[in-house]
C-alpha cells in the first residue's frame, strides 16, 4: 500500500476497497516498525490519527470527500499544532505545545488529511544535513549511514520510506528541495506568499515559505492545493486566486523555453549526476522543450547575501526565546541577565548560536550599512536578474545540488554545505516558486533536478515535472530496506 500515490489511494478509498481506518492502521504499523531505523519523527500522534481516519470514513459514507480525505501525512516540527509538541528540533522548545494550529494544519485538516505527527528537522531550520537537531540526525532511507539533507530532513525521509504519503516542509534557502533531492522524492517551495506562514516558527521571515514533499509532482499538486490560499492572519500572504493545481497537470511542453544557467552546472558535479542531467534534459527535449544557456551575473553573491540576510532576520526572530514567556528556562539563576544568558546558551544548539551571532554582528551600528543594507541591495539585483530571465523563458533549470547525499561523518561547515547547495538560494532571495524532482542516482544515492518558475506559476511548474514523470520512473524507485 505504501508505494501508492495519493491519487491511487484516493481512488481505492472512493471505491470502498479500503477504509481510512485500515489505511491509518497500516501506516501506524509501518511507522512503529521502520521509524527506529530513520529517526524521522520527533512526536507521533497515533490516537488523533485514528480519530481523524474514523472521521474520514464517516465523511466518505456521506459522500463528502475532500482533496485529502483519509490520506496519511506528517508535519515538519516547526509548524504549530494545537496541544501537540512543536519543538523546531530545539532544546529551547522541547516542552512547548502551542495553544493553536498553524493555518497550514487547519487547511490540510479541513481537506481530510490524517496527520501522524511531527517530523525531525535541523534546529530552527538552520542546516542542510539534519544533523543540528536536538533529537539526533535523521538517517537517509537509501543508506542509513548517510544524511537525509535539511532542514526538512524528517519530511523527506518519512516520505521516501513510505511512512506517510506526503509531509509539509519549509524552505528558507533550499530546505525542501535539497532533502527531496537527497531522498529521491519530489518537493516544491511555492512563491513567497502563496502558503500562509501563520503558526510557522520563523527563521528568516522574508525568505521562509511552507511547502510540500511527496513522491510525485501530482501528489505535491494535490497537497499544495489543499494547504495554500490567502490568510488574513499572515500580513505577507498573497490575496490571489488559488488555482486547482491537481487539475492543471496536462500541460504540453511543446515550445516551452527553459533557461540553463551555466553557473548551475559549474558546481563540481560528479560524473553520475552530470549523466543524469543529460538524460533528464533529453526527456524534456523529447517532450518539446527548448533550452537556452544563460549567465547569472550575481550567482557568486547568492550565498554571501543569504548569510547576511538570513542570520540577521534569525537574530531578531529568535530574540523572543528568552526564558521568560515560554520554552526552556535555565534554573538556579541569580538575576535577569544570567537568566537570559544561560537560557539561550543552554537552550540553543551550536549552529543556531553561530547564526544569531553572525546576524547580530551584521546589524551592529558599525556594519549595518556595509553588510545588511548592502546585502539587501544585492538581493534586489539577484531577484531582478531572475525575473528578467523569466520574462524570456518559462523556467530556469539545472541540478538541484551538486551530487547525492553525503555520509553522516562528512565534516563541513554550514557555509561549505551552502556552497554545495548554491543553486537553491536564488529562488528564495527572489521569492520564486521552485521544485526538485528525482532524475537519477549517483553512488547509489538519488539526485534531483530543479525547475524554477515565474511568481505564482506553481501550476505550470508542477505540470512540467508531472509530464517528465509520465516519461520517467525515478520517482517510483524505493529504497530496498523500506520497500
Instruction: Report the catalytic residues.
Output: 76, 151, 175
C-alpha 212/C-alpha 226 separation (Å) is: 11
Angle between helices 217-227 and 6-14 in degrees, nearest 10: 70
Q: Please state the separation of Cα 268 from the chain's center in Å.
A: 24
Comparing CA positions, the residue from 483, 468, 445, 456 lying closest to residue 179 is 445
Residue that the C-alpha cell 544568558 belongs to: 341
Beta-ladder partners of 101: none
Beta-ladder partners of 293: 260
C-alpha 446/C-alpha 479 separation (Å) is: 10
According to DSSP, the β-strands at 114-119 and 72-76 are: parallel
Cβ-contact 295, 265 below 8 angstroms: no
C-alpha 475/C-alpha 463 separation (Å) is: 15
As given in the structure block, the three cell numbers for residue 474 are 525515478
As given in the structure block, the three cell numbers for residue 135 are 533529537
H helix intervals, 323-373? 336-347, 350-362
Amino acid at each position: 500500500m505504501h508505494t501508492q500515490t495519493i491519487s491511487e489511494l484516493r481512488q481505492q478509498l472512493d471505491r470502498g476497497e479500503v477504509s481510512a481506518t485500515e489505511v491509518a492502521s497500516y501506516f501506524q504499523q509501518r511507522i512503529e516498525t521502520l521509524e527506529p531505523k530513520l529517526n524521522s519523527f520527533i512526536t507521533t500522534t497515533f490516537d488523533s490519527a485514528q480519530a481523524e481516519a474514523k472521521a474520514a470514513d464517516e465523511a466518505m459514507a456521506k459522500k463528502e470527500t475532500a482533496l485529502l480525505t483519509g490520506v496519511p501525512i506528517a508535519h515538519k516540527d516547526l509548524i504549530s499544532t494545537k496541544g501537540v509538541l512543536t519543538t523546531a528540533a530545539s532544546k529551547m522548545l522541547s516542552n512547548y505545545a502551542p495553544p493553536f494550529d498553524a493555518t497550514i494544519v487547519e487547511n490540510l485538516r479541513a481537506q481530510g488529511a490524517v496527520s501522524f505527527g511531527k517530523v525531525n528537522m535541523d534546529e530552527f531550520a538552520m542546516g542542510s544535513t539534519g544533523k543540528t537537531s536536538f533529537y539526533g540526525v535523521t538517517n537517509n532511507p537509501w543508506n542509513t549511514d548517510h544524511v537525509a539533507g535539511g532542514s526538512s530532513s524528517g519530511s523527506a525521509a518519512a516520505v521516501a520510506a513510505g511512512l506517510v504519503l506526503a509531509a509539509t516542509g519549509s524552505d528558507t534557502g533550499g530546505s525542501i528541495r535539497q532533502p527531496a533531492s537527497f531522498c529521491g522524492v519530489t518537493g516544491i517551495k511555492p512563491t513567497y506568499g502563496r502558503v500562509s506562514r501563520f503558526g510557522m516558527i520563523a527563521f528568516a521571515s522574508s525568505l521562509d515559505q511552507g511547502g510540500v514533499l511527496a513522491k510525485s509532482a501530482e501528489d505535491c499538486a494535490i497537497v499544495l492545493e489543499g494547504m495554500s490560499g490567502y490568510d488574513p492572519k499572515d500580513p505577507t500572504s498573497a490575496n490571489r486566486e488559488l488555482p486547482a493545481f491537481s487539475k492543471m497537470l496536462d500541460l504540453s511542453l511543446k515550445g516551452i523555453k527553459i533557461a540553463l544557467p551555466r553557473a548551475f552546472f559549474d558546481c563540481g558535479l560528479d560524473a553520475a549526476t552530470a549523466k543524469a542531467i543529460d538524460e533528464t534534459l533529453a526527456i524534456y527535449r523529447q517532450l518539446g522543450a527548448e533550452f537556452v544557456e544563460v549567465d547569472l551575473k550575481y550567482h557568486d553573491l547568492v550565498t554571501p547575501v543569504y548569510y547576511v540576510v538570513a542570520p540577521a532576520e534569525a537574530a531578531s526572530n529568535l530574540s523572543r526565546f528568552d526564558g521568560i514567556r515560554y520554552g526552556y528556562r535555565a534554573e538556579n539563576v541569580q538575576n535577569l541577565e544570567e537568566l537570559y544568558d544561560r537560557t539561550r546558551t543552554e537552550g540553543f544548539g551550536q549552529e543556531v548560536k553561530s547564526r544569531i551571532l553572525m546576524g547580530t554582528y551584521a546589524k551592529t551600528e558599525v556594519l549595518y550599512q556595509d553588510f545588511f543594507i548592502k546585502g539587501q541591495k544585492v538581493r534586489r539585483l539577484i531577484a531582478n536578474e531572475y525575473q528578467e530571465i523569466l520574462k524570456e523563458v518559462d523556467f530556469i533549470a539545472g541540478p538541484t545540488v551538486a551530487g547525492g547525499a553525503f555520509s553522516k561523518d562528512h565534516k563541513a561547515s554550514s557555509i561549505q554545505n551552502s556552497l554545495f547547495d548554491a543553486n537553491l538560494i536564488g529562488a528564495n532571495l527572489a521569492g520564486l516558486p521552485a521544485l526538485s524532482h528525482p532524475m537519477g542516482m549517483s553512488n547509489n544515492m538519488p539526485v534531483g533536478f530543479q525547475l524554477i518558475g515565474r511568481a505564482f506559476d506553481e501550476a505550470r511548474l508542477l505540470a512540467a515535472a508531472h509530464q517528465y514523470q509520465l516519461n520517467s520512473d525515478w520517482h517510483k524507485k524505493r529504497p530496498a530496506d523500506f520497500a
